[in-house]
Amino acid sequence: MNNTYNNPDSNPESQPSEALAKVADNLRKVQANIPQGVQLVAISKFHPNEYIQAAYDAGQRVFGESHEQELAKKVTSLPKDIKWHFIGHLQTNKVKYIAPYISMIEAVDSLKLLKEINKQAAKNDRVINVLLELHIAEEETKYGLTLDACRELLKAGEWREMKNVQICGLMMMASNVDDEAQIRKEMTTAADFFDEVKATYFPDAPQFCERSWGMSHDYKIAVQCRSTMVRVGTAIFGPRVY
């Protein structure tokens, strides 16, 4: 796997303009590895507005953040035509803050959260696009619905009455391992499950079409495993400074 990212901050001599040029350069390199039809979500969490602006100036329009307060600050000072995806674990009491503007909430992992998104979207007179997050990776710390829990949620059918959310597909994170075969296995499980859900619940719903998997270390595998949406941070912006 390719871990040779260009860290915009790695050279202490580097001028800000060089760091920003590196972001644009990294973005082009990632874009070149992604086939047509796969959307790149640039994951900008913990990175400064200048880096986001540099990626924007290089043509990127879709960005992902995982913390509501950080996102709120960025939204007010960056271009208005950016589409923001919320990719982190979202607490129900935070939904109201992002409901007015969020373009997609990627990590819906409970019926309770789905209901709250529907409620807050209705208050804002809009329909919010969401993905259901699957838990397939072997790591215990990861959020998400097991395949059975996801089947249950869909079978129960309450979501059909929610007029202000649109379920657009599935999202998952593979295990954070070097074993390419394991990553491939998990992503293939997700892709097969997508087909099951599509056939059972969304056969006539063209909006149910997204398979969001692939991060900096595994997006090249993800696009071979039918990903339609990769979420890449480090390979574009360099390591995050927490």
Ligand X SMILES: *Cc1c(COP(=O)(O)O)cnc(C)c1O
Choose which of 129, 154, 232, 238 interacts with ligand X (CB under 6 A): 232
Distance between CA atoms of 145 and 133, rounded to whole angstroms? 6
Task: Name the residue among 221, 222, 226, 219 with its Cα closest to residue 5.
Answer: 219
Report how far residue 154's alpha carbon sits from residue 70's, in angstroms, rounded to the nearest whole number.
32
- The answer to whether 216 contacts ligand X (rule: CB under 6 A) is yes
Nearer to ligand X, 119 or 226 (CB): 226
Q: DSSP 3-state assignment of 85?
A: strand
Nearer to ligand X, 66 or 228 (CB): 66
Residue 234 binds ligand X (CB under 6 A): yes
Compute, in degrees rounded to 10, the torsion defined by CA atoms 96, 99, 104, 109.
Answer: 20
222 in contact with ligand X (CB under 6 A): no
- Is the dihedral angle over the CA atoms 150, 153, 156, 159 positive or is it negative? negative
- Figure out which of the listed residues 74, 135, 211, 231 binds ligand X, where binding follows CB under 6 A: 231
Q: Per-residue contact track with ligand X, 10 to 49, x per CB under 6 A?
A: ---------------------------------x-x----
Q: Does 167 bind ligand X (CB under 6 A)?
A: no
Query: Closer to ligand X at the Cβ: 164 or 234?
Result: 234
Distance (Å, whole) CA 214 – CA 217: 8
Tokens standing for 80?
A: 């208005």
Which of residues 58 and 162 has its CB atom nearest to ligand X in the complex? 58
Three-state SS for 168?
A: strand
Please give the residues from 168 up to 207 whose contact with ligand X meets the rule CB under 6 A: 173
Q: Measured from the CB of residue 222, what is the shortest distance to ligand X in angstroms?
A: 11
Residues with Cβ within 8 Å of 37's Cβ and at least 6 positions away in sequence, in order, are: 228
Stretch that binds ligand X, among 9-17, 121-129, 192-200, 212-220 (CB under 6 A): 212-220
Q: What is the largest CA-CA distance in the chain?
A: 58
Helices then strands (H, E): number in the chain?
A: 9, 8
Report how many residues bind ligand X under the rule CB under 6 A: 14
223 binds ligand X, rule: CB under 6 A: no
Stretch that binds ligand X, among 47-55, 119-127, 146-154, 227-235 (CB under 6 A): 227-235
Site of interaction with ligand X (CB under 6 A)? 43, 45, 66, 87-88, 173, 215-217, 231-235
